[in-house]
Amino acid sequence: MKVLILNTYTKGGAGIAAGRLQKSLTAAGVQVDILTAADTGNRWPFYAERLSFVPFERDKSVRFSFSLANFGKNITQHPLVQAADVLHLHWINQGFLSLNGIHALAKLGKPIVWTLHDMWTFTGGCHYSRGCDHFKNSCGNCPYLRFPANKDLSYRVLNRKKRLFPADIQYVTCSTWLRDTAHTSALLREAAVQAIPNPIDTTVFKPSDTTAREKFKSELGMQPGAFALLFAAMKISEERKGFQYLAEALDMIKAAHPDCAIEIVVMGKSEIEPLMSLPYPVHLLGMIQNPEDLSLVYGACDVFVIPSLEDNLPNTVMESLACGTPVVGFDTGGIPEMVGHESEGIIVPQKDSKGLAEGIVRVLNSGAQATEAYRKAARAKVMTHYTEAIVARKYLDLYENMLGK
């Protein structure tokens, strides 16, 4: 069996997940290749795709939150496409595959699996709807657009998808939340949609012992006895990342528990000024690409906080759990599937800054026995749901069923 994974980039959440799936399937004996936009020539479709949306966008803040898929590359004759038994699409936006390009791939007659990493596949163009439910009917009156109307750009894009998407695509979502949401949409209400999570290498992402944790904190310059609160910051100005709620929660903790020694560890590349306004010392680690280094950071911290308002199945949450670090986050998207309340961490209502503050304090002040229980539950969740072998087997069953084996 030859499987070809198609994803715009090797980096980013979907790119990392696609790479991990390739590794998992290869270990299971499947020949898997990955084809990205960078492998197929110049970047003009990327620029054409972005510029084509500029006249319609509400403002610059939504420029990369809405995709038309008007422009892309014709890859039907690419040797890897021709050789594949199964075409496995992942995140294909920003000039890699257009709607016509997806239609052309389907005409090759090969089985197509499409793993959804956000809502775009079944909306009129947005990657996350931000509470809008127009995708359940026909889209239109889109809050991302400068001039929303009943038959605006989102309405037209959704109708193009209805015309061009093949009826026999097997859709996969990384979370049951996204699967259930897809089944409420006008486009995928009757489609085959299955939930299969992303995999993670549990031999790399694993818990650290006490000595390693203390060494990490010391080398980072943290005060002895301080709690390390981990936050992954990428474009924190984006509303759905929910940074303002974390900032509010930390202010509440500082006011209510002035003696609670917390220091913030930040991974990622984002705006520095908002981070520097937090009421606790901040340690900026920047971008960390090496998985072993990532594992060390997760394993050394006492809690990982994710204040996202919309998310699918975040790699960061899975990585934290695999390293035995409890998670505090909002009841949104696939996060509560990964983090059982009072088991692998704490889940609080969306946009509840006070609840987020209380959840953080509860984890940090839980005591040695409860802390160990959190750590064991976090690791156990990954070992029973997200290992490479478990996820690879689910995809193998899916591929074999589509191929009639």
Which residue segment(s) compose the domain that 30 sits in? 2-199+387-403
pTM greater than 0.85: yes
Q: Are residues 284 and 149 in the same domain?
A: no
The reported pLDDT for the residue numbered 273 is: 87
- pLDDT 10s digits, 55-88: 999 999 999 999 999 999 999 999 999 999 999 9
Query: Structural domain tally of the chain?
Result: 2
Q: Are residues 375 and 394 in the same domain?
A: no
Q: Does residue 98 fall inside a structural domain?
A: yes
Q: Are residues 7 and 154 in the same domain?
A: yes
Q: What angle do CA 31, 381, 333 make, to 5 degrees?
A: 85
- pLDDT 10s digits, 298-316: 999 999 999 999 999 999 9
Q: Are residues 281 and 154 in the same domain?
A: no
- Its sign, for the CA torsion 231, 235, 239, 243, is positive
Q: Are residues 177 and 229 in the same domain?
A: no
Q: Are residues 370 and 272 in the same domain?
A: yes
Q: Are residues 91 and 9 in the same domain?
A: yes
CB 374 within 8 A of CB 344: yes
What does the alpha-carbon distance between residue 350 and residue 310 come to, in Å, rounded to a whole number? Answer: 9
Instruction: With a cut of 90, say whether residue 333 has pLDDT above it.
Output: yes
Q: Are residues 227 and 126 in the same domain?
A: no
Q: Does residue 357 fall inside a structural domain?
A: yes
In angstroms, the first-to-last Cα distance of the chain is 10
- pLDDT 10s digits, 212-269: 999 999 999 999 999 999 999 877 878 889 999 999 999 999 999 999 999 999 998 8
Q: Which amino acid is at 230?
A: L
Inter-CA distances, 96 with 2, 22, 55, 161, 354, Å: 21, 19, 21, 16, 42
Q: Are residues 70 and 43 in the same domain?
A: yes
Q: Does residue 204 fall inside a structural domain?
A: no
Instruction: With a cut of 90, say whether residue 270 has pLDDT above it.
Output: no
Where does residue 281 rank: exposed (0-12), middle (13-18), buried (19+ CB within 10 A)? middle
Query: What percent of the chain has pLDDT above 90?
Result: 92
| CATH value at residue 372 | 3.40.50.2000
DSSP of 55-114: TTBSSGGGTTSB---------TT-HHHHH-SEEEE---TTTT--HHHHHHHHTTT--EEE
Q: Are residues 267 and 164 in the same domain?
A: no
Instruction: With a cut of 80, say whether residue 51 has pLDDT above it.
Output: yes
The reported pLDDT for the residue numbered 405 is: 67
Q: Are residues 148 and 259 in the same domain?
A: no
CB 275 within 8 A of CB 284: yes
What average pLDDT does the chain have? 96
Who contacts 370 (Cβ-Cβ below 8 Å, separation ≥6)? none
Query: What percent of the chain has pLDDT above 70?
Result: 100
Q: Does residue 188 fall inside a structural domain?
A: yes
Q: Does residue 205 fall inside a structural domain?
A: no
- pLDDT 10s digits, 183-200: 999 999 999 999 999 999
Q: Are residues 221 and 330 in the same domain?
A: yes
